[in-house]
Amino acid sequence: MRYNEKELQALSRQPAEMAAELGMRGPKKGSVLKRRLVKLVVNFLFYFRTDEAEPVGALLLERCRVTREEPGTFSISFVEDPERKYHFECSSEEQCQEWMEALRWASYEFMRRSLIFYRNEIQKVTGKDPLEQFGISEEARFQLSGLQA
Amino acid sequence: MAPGSPPGLAIAAMKLNERSLAFYATCDAPVDNAGFLYKKGGRHAAYHRRWFVLRGNMLFYFEDAASREPVGVIILEGCTVELVEAAEEFAFAVRFVGTRARTYVLAAESQAAMEGWVKALSRASFDYLRLVVRELEQQLAAVRGAGGPALPLPLPQPQALPQSQPLSPTPALAPPLPHWPSALPPKENGCAVWSTEATLRPGSEPPPPPPRRRASAPHGPLDLAPFARLHECYGQEIRVLRGQWLSSRVQP
C-alpha cells in the first residue's frame, strides 16, 4: 500500500503526547529486546533508534489492543491478529500505567466516541447541541448512531 | 545513511503496520466520506479515477468500490485543503507544508461532491477532533459544576466562528468562562493539560479521564500555544473556506 512516507516522517518530528526510551520487542518469534525512543504523536506510535532522527517505524493505533503483560510491561496488538504483539518494557510500574492510559486515548475512533458522549451529555444538561458552534452538528461521523458501531 | 552505501540510496524505508492499516481501511468503523475522485498521478501525469474512503485522519483510495485492499493512503495530519485552479473541474488540493512536500490534486464529479470533500478533509485531522473533544469536555465540566439548569457558556475566543450564534446567557450568569488555572506548569507541548476532575454520574459510561502527561524530553519543541489560539486558527481556516465556497457559488 502506498502512503505519504515523507509526511509521516514529518509527523514523527512533531511535539509528542508522550516520549520515552523503552525496551521494545517486535512481534516476530525470537525477536530481541531493543532500546528504542518511543514517541506518541496523534494516533501514531513512532519508534527510533536512540541516536537517530528518523524513525525506524510507526504503528497506526487504530483498532489496537493494549494489554498488561509482566510487571512494567505492556503490549500492543491489533484486533485482526491479537497474537501478534509488540512488547514494551518500561522502567517502572508508574511509567507503564501512564503509557497504557495515553495509548487508550490515542485513537481516532476513541476520540470520536468521546465526542459523541460529551455532545450527548451536554445536550442532556443544557438542551443545546454544543457542536452547532463549530458548524459540524450535521456531520454523520458525530451522530449518536456512531456509538453503536 | 549506512556507510559505504551508494550515493542517492535512501536509508531503509520506514516500517509501518500496513496490514493493520489495510484492515482499518475496510473494517466496519464509521466512514467519514466516500466517493469517486480523480487523483492526479504526478505533476505532469494524468488523472486516475479512484474510489476514496475517508476514515478518521486516513484517506484511503481503492482501484474501485469493490476492491478489498487499498492502493494507497494519504495520512491527513499537518495538511491544508484548498480549492485550486486546474484544467479539471471541481478540483481541490491537499497540501502539505515543507520543502519537497507533496501536494495531492484531486477532482470531484460535481460541485456538491467537491464541497463535501473539502469540508470533510479540512476537519479530518486528529488534532482537530482532539480540540473539539477538549472543548466539549470543558463545557460539560462547566455546566455540571454550575449545577442546576445552567445555560451553555459561549466559546472562549474573542471572534466568533462562522455560524456561531452567541448563546444568550441569563442575566444572572456573567459569561467569563472557566479559564485554565494560570498556575499550571507548561509541561506539555501543544497539548493543554486536561482536567482530571470531571465529575461523572454513576451508572453512565463515560470515557476515562485523560491521562496526566509528562513532558516529552528530547523530541519536539515545547509549543505553548494556548487552546483558544489553536481553536481560533481552525476557525479561521473554516472561515476562509466558507468565503471561497460562497464566492464560487455566486459565479454562474
Asked if residue B178 belongs to a domain, the reply is: no
Kindly state the cell numbers that stand for B201: 454520574
Asked if residue B103 belongs to a domain, the reply is: yes
Asked if residue B145 belongs to a domain, the reply is: no
> What integer pLDDT is reported at residue B234 of this predicted model?
61
Residue at which a domain ends, from B111, B128, B145: B128
> Domain total for chain B?
2
Residue at which a domain ends, from B103, B128, B153: B128
* Interface residue A133 vs chain B (CB under 8 A): yes
> What integer pLDDT is reported at residue A133 of this predicted model?
84
Phi, psi of B227 (to 5 degrees): -55, -45
> What integer pLDDT is reported at residue A49 of this predicted model?
95
Residues in A 15-74 with any Cβ partner in B closer than 8 A: 15-20, 37, 39, 42-43, 48, 54-60, 62-64
B72/A104 CB distance under 8 A: no
Percentage of chain B modeled with pLDDT above 90: 35
> What integer pLDDT is reported at residue B220 of this predicted model?
38
Do β-strands B15-16 and A57-60 pair in parallel, antiparallel, or remain unpaired? parallel
Looking at beta carbons, which residues of chain A come within 8 Å of B52?
none
Cβ atoms of A75 and A85 closer than 8 Å: yes
Percentage of chain A modeled with pLDDT above 90: 73
Residue at which a domain ends, from B128, B160, B179: B128
> What integer pLDDT is reported at residue B218 of this predicted model?
40
Q: How far apart are the first and last CA of chain B?
A: 55
Cβ atoms of B211 and A98 closer than 8 Å: yes
Asked if residue B171 belongs to a domain, the reply is: no
CATH T-level assignment (fold) for domain A5-101: PH-domain like (2.30.29)
Q: The complex's ipTM?
A: 0.90
CA distance B12 to A47: 14
Looking at beta carbons, which residues of chain A come within 8 Å of B15?
56-58
**What residues contact A44, with CB distance under 8 A and at least 6 apart?**
A8, A11, A12, A58, A59, A60, A61
CA distance A111 to B134: 10
> What integer pLDDT is reported at residue B44 of this predicted model?
75
| Mean pLDDT score, A127-141 | 82
How far is residue B167 from each of residues A136, B152, B173, B233, measured CA to CA in Å?
17, 7, 12, 21
Of B20, B75, B164, the CB nearest to A133: B164
Asked if residue B167 belongs to a domain, the reply is: no
A115/B129 CB distance under 8 A: yes
Cβ atoms of B129 and A105 closer than 8 Å: no
Q: Which pLDDT band holds residue B206 (cuts at 50, 70, 90)? A: low
- Based on the domain organization, do B121 and B192 belong to the same domain? no
pLDDT at B65 over 60: yes
- Based on the domain organization, do B107 and B14 belong to the same domain? yes
> What integer pLDDT is reported at residue A55 of this predicted model?
95
Q: Convert A124-139 into a string of H (helix), E (strand) and C (coil).
A: HHHCCCHHHHHCCCCC
Asked if residue B76 belongs to a domain, the reply is: yes
- Based on the domain organization, do B194 and B110 belong to the same domain? no
Q: Residue A35 half-sphere exposure, CB side, CA atoms within 13 Å?
A: 5
| Mean pLDDT score, B164-190 | 35
Cβ atoms of B38 and B48 closer than 8 Å: yes
pTM: 0.70
Residue spans of the domains in chain A: they are 5-101, 111-140
A19/B161 CB distance under 8 A: no
Kindly state the cell numbers that stand for A94: 508508574
Of A56, A60, A110, the CB nearest to B21: A60
Q: Which pLDDT band holds residue A106 (cuts at 50, 70, 90)? A: very high
Domain that holds residue B19: 7-128
B189/A7 CB distance under 8 A: no
pLDDT at B170 over 90: no
Of A1, A15, A115, the CB nearest to B133: A115
- Based on the domain organization, do B101 and B208 belong to the same domain? no
